[in-house]
Amino acid sequence: MRKNELGAFNLDTLRALPRPNIYERDPLKIKARMIAYFEQQTGRKLYDGQVEMYLIETWAYGFSLAMEEAQAQAEQYLVAFSAGGGLDALGANRSLTRLPSAAARTTLRFALLQPQARPLTIPADFAVRSEDSDVQFLTLQALVIAAGQQQAEVQAVAAQAGAAGNGFATGSLTIMTSPIAGLAVANITVSSGGADIESDDAYRLRLANALELVSQSGPAAGYRERIFAVSAAIVDCAVFRPQPCYIDIYALTATGTAGTELKAQIEAALDPEYGRPMGDEVTIKDCEGVELAGTLTIRAYSGLPEIEKQAQAQLSVITDGWRQSLAAVIAPSDLIEAVKHIGGVLDAQIDGLIYQKLTAPQYVAKADITIKMEMVNG
């Protein structure tokens, strides 16, 4: 999903907004109001144990439940507190729909073992997969290998949308579901761009910052919102202006820098006719991957296997955040504090990993943190 960021609205500022008390939901306060009204209208005082008091208590409880439901429905009209279908309805007011799941893309190269005297046509939707996966990639259009030629290239898209189509290494898509004699195939780019449907938090951020899309004059925030609107696969991006009229863009996905196909989608979305200032020269660049390594030593009296399991889960949460953010702050203390809160841990220290603030085009491509468990004799 899209990560938190500085700006007019981010997840922190949205969550910090006070939840409005649109309806009174406290049964005691509702009861007090009803008692006051009864006593004013009848001219007599109510006491515990009277039939009227039992009725009022029952009604007050029922009203409190009804007001809870009314409050929940009213909050669906507020971006900060809405969810699910409520957010989708708010998006219609801003001409901003939730990003659907996206299918991964790659480029396939079909090659003949020998040139032929006649052209060979490979139809659209021709299916290819890897040896160890059932995920199929379909050619987007018919491909013709001309007479006398041996190879040609075509883009292909995963048959099913979602992140499952990401990460097929170059040369791994080699199996044709309908083999053609004398023809071989392989992907020449790593498949990327697949994503599940946009999450509530990511969609909420785009809705809160939708007005950034109004300006066509090219503010950085406007570029960012247009980039995020391309695909739910994009988790972060950076926009730079190295010199007047030149814009450099970096887009990051959960699996690394945006692939060739996704970069082409971003470029198409920033068409100068309608998506950005006509005077800007836009270049989509690769993010710079950084590798980290370190050894985390954890000391405890007992329960080392369970502590190690919990520590690994804590580290994964933190390192995944580093991997899915540009310009992440690499703070070793984050790792230490996370494991120190695990029950039974006496002490923790990390070696080989230093504090650093990555630059905006940088992300953590690999975080190899080894856990070393030490038992302390009591």
Whether the CB-CB separation of 127 and 159 falls below 8 Å is answered with: yes
pLDDT at 157: 96
Exposed e or buried b per residue across 64-80, where buried means at least 16 C-beta atoms within 10 angstroms of its C-beta: beebeeebeeebeeebb
Give the distance, in angstroms, between the CA of residue 341 and the centroid of all CA atoms in the same chain.
27
Tell me how far apart the alpha carbons of residues 208 and 91 are, in angstroms, rounded to a whole number.
Answer: 10
Query: For residues 303, 309, 315 and 316, what is the CA-based torsion angle, rounded to 10 degrees?
Result: -170
User: Residue 1: CB partners within 8 Å, gap ≥ 6?
Assistant: 198, 199, 201, 202, 232, 235
pLDDT at site 330: 95
- List per-residue pLDDT tens for the chain, 378 residues long: 455 555 566 777 777 888 888 999 999 999 999 999 999 999 999 999 899 999 999 999 999 999 999 999 998 988 888 999 999 999 988 888 899 999 999 999 999 999 999 999 999 999 999 999 999 999 999 999 999 999 999 999 999 999 999 999 999 999 999 999 999 999 999 999 899 999 998 898 888 888 777 765 567 888 888 899 899 999 999 999 999 889 999 999 988 999 988 999 999 988 877 767 677 889 999 999 999 999 999 999 899 999 999 999 999 999 999 999 999 999 999 999 999 999 999 999 999 999 999 998 999 999 999 999 999 886
Helix (H, G, I), strand (E, B) or coil at 192: strand
pTM: 0.68
- pLDDT confidence of residue 136: 97
HSE, side-chain direction, 13 A CA sphere, residue 371: 19
- What pLDDT, on a 0 to 100 scale, did the predictor assign at position 273? 74
Task: Tell me how far apart the alpha carbons of residues 316 and 150 are, in angstroms, rounded to a whole number.
Answer: 46
Q: Give the integer Cα–Cα distance in Å for 55 and 39.
A: 14
d(CA 157, CA 176): 14
* Annotated domain spans of the chain: 21-77, 105-187, 288-375
pLDDT (0 to 100) of residue 3: 56
Alpha-carbon distance of 206 to 191, in angstroms, equals 26
Residue-level pLDDT at 217: 56
Two tokens, residue 247: 């814009």
- Phi/psi region, residue 117 (left: phi>0; alpha: psi -120 to 50; beta: rest), is alpha
The predicted pLDDT at position 360 comes to 87
Neighbours of 293 (CB within 10 A): 11
Cα angle value 39/42/45 (rounded, 5°): 40
